[in-house]
Amino acid sequence: MTDIAFSHLAIVVDDLQSALQFWRDSLGLSQAGEIERVAAEEVDAAFMTLGDAKIELIEPTTADSGIAKFLAKRGPGIHHLCLEVPDLDAKLEDLSARGYQLINETPRERGGRRYAFIHPKSSGGVLLELYERN
């Protein structure tokens, strides 16, 4: 049995309010908290609750951010998968030692939660975010 758990799936949107109308108002998912401005990632984000997991809707706040470039190149859609690990530092060290490419070699922090991204080249084409389990 693994000590890794599913956290959320992130979807890039070009209009967060329109996306909320669909996911929250039309589908009936519950919004978990307020819309959050994540300055370090240059996005506005809203989490929708889906059972024990969440869907994160992210809209770029600048025209030249990584999310904005993703949106311009690929359009709206799935951006990344997030998993929770018990010890983020140990997991990043292990992945790096195994030769996997990390986007964040040291964790970032958002709302009291530490996270880091693993490059899609190392995870079969999927941008992977790791959260440290609280």
Q: What residue ranges do the domains of the chain occupy?
A: 5-132
Q: Tell me the pLDDT of the chain (134 aa) as tens digits.
A: 679 999 999 999 999 999 999 999 999 999 999 999 999 999 999 999 988 899 999 999 999 999 999 999 999 999 999 999 999 999 999 999 999 999 999 999 988 999 999 999 999 999 999 999 98
Nearest CA among 38, 78, 84 for reference residue 62: 38
Phi first, then psi: give them for residue 40, nearest 5 degrees: -65, -30
According to the model, what pLDDT value does residue 1 have? 61
According to the model, what pLDDT value does residue 111 have? 86
Provide the residue type at 34 as one letter. Answer: E
Domain 5-132 has CATH 3.10.180.10: yes
Q: Rounded to two decimals, what is the model's pTM?
A: 0.92
Structural contact between residues 18 and 25, judged by C-beta atoms closer than 8 angstroms: no
Count of beta carbons in the 10 Å neighbourhood of residue 28: 8
According to the model, what pLDDT value does residue 134 have? 82
According to the model, what pLDDT value does residue 126 have? 96
